[in-house]
Structure formats: structure tokens, C-alpha cells
Amino acid sequence: MKSFLKYTLATIAGILVVNFLGLVIFFIIIGAATKQEEPTVLENSVLVAKFNSPIIDRANDDPFSQFAAGNFGMQGVMGLDQILKDIDKAKNDEDISGIFLRLSGIPSSMATVEEIRDALMDFKADGKFIIAHADAFTQKSYYLATAADKIYLTPTGDFDFKGLQAKVLYFKRALDKLGIEVQVVRHGDYKSAVEPFLTNEMSDENREQLDEMISSVWDKMIYEISLARGISEEDLEKYADELAVAMDERAVEKKMIDGTRYYDQVLDELRELTETEEDDDIPSISLKKYADVSGNKEASGNRIAVIYAMGTVVTGEAEEGMIGSDRIARAIRKARKDDKVKAIVFRVNSGGGSALASEVIYREVKLAAEVKPVVASLGDVAASGGYYIVCPADTIVASETTITGSIGVFGLIPNMQELMNEKIGITTGLVKTNKYADIMSTTRPMTQDERIIIKEYIDDVYTTFVNHVAEGRSMSFEEVDAIGGGRVWSGVNAMEIGLIDVYGGLEKSVEIAAEMADLDNYRLTSLPTLEDPITRLMKQITGGVKAKIISKELGSAYELYKQVEMINNMEGLQAIMPYTLDIY
């Protein structure tokens, strides 16, 4: 017994010691990370930019931002706001001679790439150079590279230029096998969020909207590439149709790139551009380190609040990466009541979500717009509930490749009676006091009366949605209804039908807000306030481990898992984008 107690106490003591040492090491890391000196930028330096990490709208401003959920200890996320800020800072930095783009795949949507490309074009307007190099070009990385003065590809490297595609997964056959019937009540012929649960193939309405959307995005890409490379749009279309530039030599021959060069050969050219001796290292600084270099902008008491709303719209608080109605509404209210905040930029990147949560946020945006300028900045996607919450803004800014619209509402109620009764062998006993006490039950089919009641509710929410848009956009109900019904639009289409006002990204939105508030000197403040670094790191560690394990086990099916998880988390009526749409 004494031996057992001895070994038990020794084990407990060992665990405590290990944990204590772990905490000591952890806080040493904290101290080292927070006491870093500002990097030195040497004269005639090259800013080295890689975009091989996921890019989100808002950067983390703490020393642990490199630890992304699902990628702990590996690559982190990048903030679009910080990228744009650093490129603008480099433009006015006398010690930065040019930018070297080291490209591969870019794990972000097209509108984000568009904003970075616009910033690069502005950077080189004053005569500074941009050189791009890749071992292989995807269509997104090549599109970004066309902002460069010279584009190089590693010999034998792949060159992807074949046009865009958009895929939709359909679950009907799988659900039939499981014995699950998805009961849907919706408003709008184009509300195809529920289509994958009702059919095994794409509807004509959905095919129509997707075709128009990706065609407008492709047209924008072709136009800009033509302008940058001096190749006619007709020839570019021909190259894509015939896969005429898939090989490196053909890409050079067709003037899509300026040559095939190995990395060391590109470095030789950078030495010439920076007047660096052959055996010396090129003076350079990475985009990540350059973020720690202070700018020269003077401080001001006047502020423009940039409120970031990213992810699915849900009720309650929710963490960063989700649009919790309480958290975002509180941030808007704070900016509205702060006399130092002279204007608000509401940056939204969301395919929508809960109709109720959208209404809560809508109300705060409307109240804010009544007392100070509010500019909505649409990111990669701001559709359905994502558009619902921005429609009261004074001005709506979006990229030509932004996905928006999807003005529609639906309810989804699974009937799992067959699964439970026939497949698993579970039956249900029910006692109720009133006729509709078990309305929306998932263990039986809906009755016709229940369907009528739910449809009336959905029609009412849809009418409210359309009226909000009509009021915000100075349109009639009929005009909004004609472009509504759940139909998705690209930024180009959205401009034509009056859903947005100006093409541009986050920086353009800030410029418009400053002009509306008559501000020459101001500083930006980001809301909602982020959690403290340690709390956020702990959440990233625990959440990242779970996500990483699931991602590794499921492989390519991980995206399907995330869609199913999103559906499981849906509550109430939904104003949400048809699906997670990745155009590539």
C-alpha cells in the first residue's frame, strides 16, 4: 500500500512539475514575442511577399497570430487589412525599391486577390518595380502576378489557364439511402441553398445564375490580363479554350509570361535592380516582418471605425470568424455613440445565416446611418443575410468579383422518421396539449396545415427583407423582388441592378468614408475588440487540434464535413447563400 501511495504521489508530482515547466516556457515565449524590436529596413530593400497562407479580412494584432486554427505550429493566416496597409506603407517608404512576389497557390477567393492586385498596381505607379516568380501558376496566382513588371516561371513548371468552374455537391441520393427526407419551405425560385437536398442535379435557375456569375468574373480577369500583358481578349479566350499555354515554352511564346527562370536567376535580376554586388545578399524584408515597421502617419483625434463581420450570421455572441448578432450589434452601437468616431466602414464577408440575427444587426446599422456616414465594404461574399445587414448603409462598395445578392429566405426541416423507425428501430411516443405543440418535429412529416403556416412566416420575413433593401437602395418593392428570389449576383451584375454603388475594396471604402465625414487627418480603429492574446491562443490550440485531426482523416471530404456541420448549426429561418462557392 505504501509503495502504491509513493508511486502515485511521485506521478502527481511529476505531472505538476511538467505543467509548471510548460507554463514557464510558455511565458518565456510570450516575453520573447512581445519584446521584439522593430525590424530595420536597409536602403534599396526588396519587400518579399508570399500569399500561400489563408487570407482573412482582419489581421490578429498579437504575437501569436501565426498560429491559425487547424494549422497550429505551421502556417498562419494573413490579414487583408494588414497586407493592404503594408503595401501602401512600402509605396511611401524610400528604402523599399520594389516588391518580389514569390507565388504558388493562393488560398483565398477572387475578390481578395483583386484587392491585393489593385494595391500592387497602385504601388508601382510611382516607378517602383514588381517582379513575380512561381514554380507553378494557378489562375489566381497568375492573375495577381499580372500586376508585376516581369513574370517568370520555373522551367517545366505548370501554367494553369483554362477558364473558371464552380461545382455544387448534391446530397439527395445519400439522404434517400439514410432514410432522411428534407422538408423545405422557401421563397424564391433561385433560393438554391436547399437544392442539394431536394434533387440530384442542378436546376435550370441555378445553372443560369452560376453561369452568369462566373462569366462576369472571368470577363473581368480577361480584361485586366489583356490590359497588363498587351494580349487581345480574343486571343486570351482562345488560349483558354485550347489549353494553348499549359506548357512553359508556350506561355513564353504567347507572351503570358516574360520567361522561364530558376529562383537563383531571378535573384540575379533583383541584384541588378537593387545595385547589389554579385556575392552580397539582396537587402530584403518579408511582408510578415514589414508589418512591424512603424508608419509615418500622424495621430489624430478623429477616427473611422472599421467594423469587421466575417462568417455565418448567428444569434448571440459567437467568436471571431462568426457574425454573432449581439457582438456585432454591440460594436456598431459603440461606434455610433462614440463622438470621436466620425464615420463607420462596415466590412462584411458572409454568405448569410439566421434571418433573426440579420435583423438585429440591420437595426444597428440603420441607427448608425442616421447619425453618421456608414460605408459598407463587401468582401469575397456578402450575400443573403450578408447583404441584409449592409443594405441600410449610405454607400455600398464591392469588387467586381464579389458574390452578393441572394435576397431570399428558407426553412429546412428534416424528417427522420424512416431513419429512426426502419433503419435504427427507434419509435416515438408523443403527448401534447395543443394542435401545433410539436410543429417542426423531425420525427414525422409536416402536415399541409403546418406547411402553410411556415410558408406564411417565410413570406413575411422575405417581405421584410425586400422592404429593407428597397428602403436602403431607394428602390420599389417590385424592383427588388424582381432581382431577389434568392438569386446570386457578381459585383458587376450587382452594379447594373443597383445593389452596389462603387467598385473597390477596403481602402476605397475608407477613402469614401473620410470624404463623407470631411476628414483629412484621421486614424482607424478596428471593432469588435479582439480577445486578449493568451485567451485567443488557447482557443486556437484546442480548436486547431480538433480541426486538424478531422481534416487529416477526411482529406478532400473535409469541405463536405464543414457544410454538414454548418447545416446542423442552423436555427430558425435562414437568409443564407446557396452554398460555399469556390470559383477556381
Task: Tell whether 256 and 405 lie within a shared domain.
Answer: no
- Judge if 269 and 311 occupy the same domain: no
> Is 234 part of a structural domain of the chain?
no
3-state secondary structure of 237: helix
* Domain end position, chosen among 258, 290, 322: 290
Whether pLDDT at 162 is above 80: yes
**Is residue 102 a part of any domain in this protein?**
yes
Per-residue pLDDT reduced to its tens digit, 217-262: 999 999 999 999 999 999 999 999 999 998 888 999 999 999 999 9
Please check whether residues 334 and 275 belong to one and the same domain. Answer: no
Whether 31 shows a pLDDT value over 70: the answer reads no
Spatial distance between the Cα atoms of 416 and 178, rounded to a whole number of angstroms: 9
What amino acid is encoded at 171 in this protein? F
End position of a domain, from candidates 290, 320, 346:
290
Residue 153: per-residue pLDDT = 97
CA distance 358 to 194: 19
Catalytic residue numbers?
A: 191, 384
Both 403 and 534 in a single domain? yes
Lowest-pLDDT range of 9-13, 23-27, 38-42: 23-27
Q: Which domain holds residue 488?
A: 303-410+439-574
Q: Per the domain annotation, does 36 fall within a domain?
A: no
My answer on whether 118 and 154 are in the same domain is yes
Model confidence over 407-458: pLDDT tens digits? 988 888 889 999 889 888 999 898 999 999 999 898 899 999 999 999 999 9
Predicted pLDDT of residue 222? 97
Task: Answer yes or no: do 104 and 129 share one domain.
Answer: yes
Q: According to the model, what pLDDT value does residue 208 have?
A: 86
Residue 24 belongs to a domain: no
Model pLDDT, residue 281: 92
Residue 73 maps to a domain = yes
Say whether pLDDT at 29 is over 70. Answer: no
- What CATH number does the domain containing 256 carry? 3.90.226.10
Q: How far is CA 214 from CA 103, 489, 499, 502, in A?
A: 24, 9, 18, 20
pTM of the model: 0.85
If asked whether residues 392 and 265 sit together in one domain, one would say no
Q: For residue 138, is pLDDT > 50? A: yes
Question: Nearest-CA neighbor of 507 among 86, 77, 20?
Answer: 86
Q: Are residues 328 and 406 in the same domain?
A: yes
Total count of domains within the chain: 2
Do 263 and 406 share a domain, yes or no? no
In a domain, 143, yes or no: yes
| Tally of residues, the chain | 584
311 and 275 within one domain:
no
For the residues of 32-80, what is the DSSP string, one character each? Answer: HHHTPPPPP--TTEEEEE---S-EESS---STTTT--TT-TTS---EEH
Q: What does the pLDDT look like over 453-506, one tens digit per residue?
A: 999 999 999 999 999 999 999 999 999 999 988 888 999 999 999 999 999 999
Predicted local confidence at residue 205, as pLDDT: 82
Per-residue cell: 418: 424512416
Q: Is residue 330 part of a domain?
A: yes
Q: What is the mean pLDDT of residues 355-376?
A: 97
**Looking at the structure, do residues 326 and 473 belong to the same domain, yes or no?**
yes
- Please check whether residue 145 lies inside any domain of the structure: yes
Mean pLDDT lowest among 211-215, 298-302, 355-359, 433-437: 298-302
> Do 268 and 366 share a domain, yes or no?
no
Q: What is the pLDDT of residue 169?
A: 84
Q: What's the mean pLDDT when you consider all of the chain?
A: 85
> pLDDT band for position 185 (50/70/90)?
confident
Question: Which of 290, 325, 355 corresponds to the end of one domain?
Answer: 290
Q: What would the pLDDT profile of 366-395 be if each residue is shown by its tens digit?
A: 999 999 999 999 999 999 999 999 999 999
DSSP 532: P
Mean pLDDT of 79-88: 95
